[in-house]
Amino acid sequence: CSSDLEGVIVRAHAVEVVYEVAYGGVSLDVVLGDCTGQLEKNDLALLKELSFGTLRWFWRCKGVIEQLVARPLKKRDRIIEAVMAVGIYQLEHMRLPPHAAIHATVQTCATLDRTGFKGFVNAVLRNFQRHRDELIQTLPESGRSAHPAWLWQAIRNEWPEHASSIIEANNTRPPMTLRVNTRAVSVTRYLEALRAERIEAVPLEHAPSAVVLSRPINLERLPGFEQGWVSVQDASAQLLTELISPVSVQRVLDACSAPGGKLTHMLEAFPGLEVQAVEVDSERARRIEENLERLRVKANVLVADAANPDQWWDGRPFDLVVLDVPCSATGVIRRHPDIKVLRRLSDIDRFSEVQKRLLNRLWRMVKPGGHMIYVTCSILARENQEQVNKFLQRTRDSREERFQLPLGLARRRGWQILPNPQGGDGFYYAVLRKEY
């Protein structure tokens, strides 16, 4: 019937998404963006469930496949590994009758022009169904927890007391957290508006503008979204404004600004700020402009490389530089499960050099007595407290300012929030003051 065919087609799309990410090195957002216009809304929801879920559990699926497949597939047939991974994810994590999940997955072989592999895929999936517990228990702990070995080891080494909760958070679907624009509507009023639409939500005590939905919904269902009442932003990211004093801040640089969540939050919380936002990617800069317009706030958005200020800076110093640096994103894996598949240990060296360069080049733009807030969505010390400590050691006019946030942990340098299954994402903050 047509619905069965549609299910096969959606699964074939999911296989292609997983294949492009896991074997082509393309980000999940990019691949899914190419599929958005090809599917109906319900089919797109299933595609996202299969794609996000399979990539979230990819290393476990891959470990199982390696046990069940005697010889590695030829390079031209590697897409069949993605077929099997999608099938294993359905059998382990989705509420589908096993025979239906296996049948629909096997049929994708024909859709993907790999008809000859139907029997092979069917045998592997049925073997997994029969021996699931034994196969999973045979995996190393990193494989059972669906993490690459290097990342699993890094988490265990750096956060021995918190490793289990971090790994659990990384394998959990993230909450949908909103930031209420309190210039337009109070949190109490917005919760009432949600209840009127039968949308369950609760406020968060540690983030005064935050509301968490009991389950994710489409943006168009949010009351007042187009009118600028609310934005989607994780609670940990919302804590940036807790570090800003409006009394001493007028002129702000938001470097590496996209997608603009922290920028728009600053403008909502502190009306009258003069903000220069810099983003190197023109498409991402366009998204910043769209968010500014929707929320009815203003900033000057410049498409430029923040690491090359000589090309765009007018020489006027800033009271505050918000430097949200490119990083490993190991604190936001639950929102971007492809990070576990795409990221390599060697990438940490590359990110560390970029962070060092940005710190050095943007520090001269901070006026004496002004501040820089250094931000990452990483949980790795090399990108966080070690990076800040090295900067302080080599920069004579820099001082760290200590602070406390309502959640997280004080580090030797800065403040670390860890990803939590019931809480926010992993973020790191440090506040640096420029001496006179």
Cβ neighbours of residue 234 closer than 8 Å, sequence gap 6 or more: 174, 177, 332, 335, 424, 425
The residue type at 269: A
Q: Token pair of 269, please?
A: 């919380």
Interatomic CA distance for residues 416 and 424, integer angstroms:
12
User: Can you give the length of the chain in residues?
Assistant: 436
Of 109, 256, 327, 377, which is the active-site residue? 377
61 belongs to the catalytic site: no
Interatomic CA distance for residues 172 and 266, integer angstroms:
29
Alpha helices, DSSP H, located in 57-205:
58-68, 79-93, 98-111, 118-138, 141-144, 149-158, 163-170, 187-196
Exposure pattern of 402-423 as b/e (b: 16+ CB <10 Å)? eeebebbeebebbbbbbbbbeb
Interatomic CA distance for residues 323 and 240, integer angstroms:
11
C-alpha closest to that of 166 among 332, 411, 370, 368: 332
The reply to whether omega before 259 is within 30° of 0 (cis) is yes
Walk across the sheet containing 177-180 and list its strands.
201-203, 210-213, 177-180, 230-232
Beta bridge partner(s), residue 254: 277, 322
Active site residues: 377
